[in-house]
């Protein structure tokens, strides 16, 4: 969405003649590297050494295009698929993005599977761009995303989104989905519904070296992922900013997540990140970040605490190819053991990781 919910037209695929009138592009990323994960938080796992795909940027192939419909109106589409470079895994369905959009001078309206406004904000502020083991977001980091019941959510199904034009550097993104984690159901009468409803708003301001963004979203469900609890609700807000001084680009992020079940507060999470990117010559950049998260539970449960620091370096060989080296380490208290990991998905509770790799976009 900050990467501009791109308007693209699926109608152009209807016939050879229509296809010829559309601007359709094949694009993608091929990313592969050495991935070492160690220091199992619960002592369950040995260190892992692997050649993995998509460490800095998820390896993918995508199709996008746009058609000028006249009178300032354009139609567009994006279909994007995961690819496993390390194992040769083929297309795994449109698991990344898949949406259709219309745009004109008044903005863009897009419908389908899309990135959340929260993820677009956080990845823009994170010096590591939500990639490598330096990633601040849950799954490789400690910053919870989406909802407490699904803390790694960065894309939503069935999302209807609007992106306003920019007015002197200010724009707004808004979105709603009746079920962000699957197809909308037809619930039985007098039965609990399983749809996870989400609405979000994300104002942003960009002016020269300064960027400031705010995200607010709510998640509601009668029977959430965590169990059959009635009236589950999350309220989430995040404030992020960057400022480029030339010699260094500073980043800051702060957010809160409050989860309630049956109208009773179940948990409150506070999380933040500080980071920096320092240019090295004309092609390199040194990266660093520190993030921290604390969750306060009701009902006498122990508070969870987790922190992470990361350092790295990236070097551009060209506009489309770069090398990267990143090291990161997570620290947790006893209550948070096994919850956080530098691996993705976060199911192996590794707390330190090293990435050495290359990423090429086309």
Percent of the chain with pLDDT over 90: 73
What pairs with residue 173 in β-bridges? Answer: 163, 202
Judged against a pLDDT cut of 70, whether residue 20 lies above it is answered with no
Determine, yes or no, domain membership for 277.
yes
Determine, yes or no, domain membership for 47.
yes
Judged against a pLDDT cut of 80, whether residue 74 lies above it is answered with yes
What is the Cα–Cα distance from 135 to 148, expressed in whole angstroms? 19
What is the Cα–Cα distance from 52 to 35, expressed in whole angstroms? 6
Q: What is the pLDDT of residues 123-173, one digit of tens each?
A: 999 999 999 999 999 999 999 999 988 899 999 999 999 999 999 999 999
Determine, yes or no, domain membership for 44.
yes
Which residues form the domain of 127? 34-63+105-361
Q: What angle do CA 94, 100, 105 make, to 5 degrees?
A: 145
Question: Is residue 238 classed exposed, middle or buried when 0-12, 13-18 and 19+ CB atoms within 10 A define those classes?
Answer: buried
Q: What is the pLDDT of residues 318-347, one digit of tens each?
A: 999 999 999 999 999 998 998 999 998 777
CA distances from 85 to 42, 59, 172, 337, 358 (A): 30, 7, 36, 31, 12
Determine, yes or no, domain membership for 198.
yes
What is the Cα–Cα distance from 222 to 354, expressed in whole angstroms? 41
Mean of all residue pLDDT scores within the chain: 89
- CATH, residue 241: 2.40.160.10
Prediction pTM value: 0.89
What total of structural domains would you count in the chain?
A: 1
Determine, yes or no, domain membership for 28.
no
Q: What is the pLDDT of residues 81-110, one digit of tens each?
A: 999 999 988 776 667 999 999 999 999 999
Determine the pLDDT at residue 164.
Answer: 98
Determine, yes or no, domain membership for 115.
yes
Determine the pLDDT at residue 9.
Answer: 29
What is the Cα–Cα distance from 67 to 84, expressed in whole angstroms? 31
Determine the pLDDT at residue 149.
Answer: 82
């Amino acid at each position: 969405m900050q990467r501009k919910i791109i308007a693209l037209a699926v109608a152009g695929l209807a016939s050879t003649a229509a296809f010829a009138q559309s601007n359709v592009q094949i694009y993608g990323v091929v990313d592969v590297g050495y991935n070492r994960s160690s220091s199992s938080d619960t002592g369950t796992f040995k260190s892992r050494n692997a050649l993995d795909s998509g460490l800095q940027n998820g390896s993918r192939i995508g199709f996008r295009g746009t058609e000028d419909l006249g009178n300032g109106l354009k139609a567009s589409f994006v279909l994007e698929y995961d690819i496993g470079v390390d194992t040769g895994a083929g297309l795994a369905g449109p698991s990344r993005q898949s949406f259709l959009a219309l745009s004109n001078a008044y903005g863009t309206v897009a419908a389908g599977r899309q990135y959340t406004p929260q993820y677009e904000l956080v990845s823009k502020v994170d010096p590591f761009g939500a990639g490598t083991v330096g990633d601040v977001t849950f799954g490789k980091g400690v910053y919870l995303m989406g909802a407490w019941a699904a803390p790694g959510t960065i894309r939503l199904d069935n999302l209807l989104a609007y992106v306003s034009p920019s007015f002197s550097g200010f724009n707004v993104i808004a979105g709603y989905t009746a079920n962000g984690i699957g197809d909308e159901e037809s619930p039985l009468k007098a039965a609990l519904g399983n749809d996870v409803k989400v609405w979000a708003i994300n104002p942003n301001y960009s002016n020269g070296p300064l960027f400031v963004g705010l995200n607010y979203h709510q998640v509601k469900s009668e029977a959430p992922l965590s169990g059959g609890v009635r009236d589950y609700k999350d309220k989430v807000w995040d404030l992020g900013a960057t400022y480029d001084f030339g010699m260094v680009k500073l980043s800051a992020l702060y957010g809160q997540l409050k989860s309630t079940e049956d109208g009773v507060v179940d948990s409150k999470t506070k999380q933040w990140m500080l980071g920096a990117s320092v240019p090295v010559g004309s092609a390199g950049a040194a990266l660093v970040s520190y993030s921290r998260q604390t969750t306060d539970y009701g009902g006498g449960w122990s508070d969870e605490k987790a922190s992470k620091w990361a350092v790295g370096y990236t070097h551009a060989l060209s506009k489309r190819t770069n090398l990267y080296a990143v090291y990161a380490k997570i620290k947790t208290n006893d209550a948070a053991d096994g919850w956080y990991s530098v691996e993705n998905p976060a199911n192996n509770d590794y707390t330190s990781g090293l990435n050495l790799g290359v990423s090429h976009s086309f």
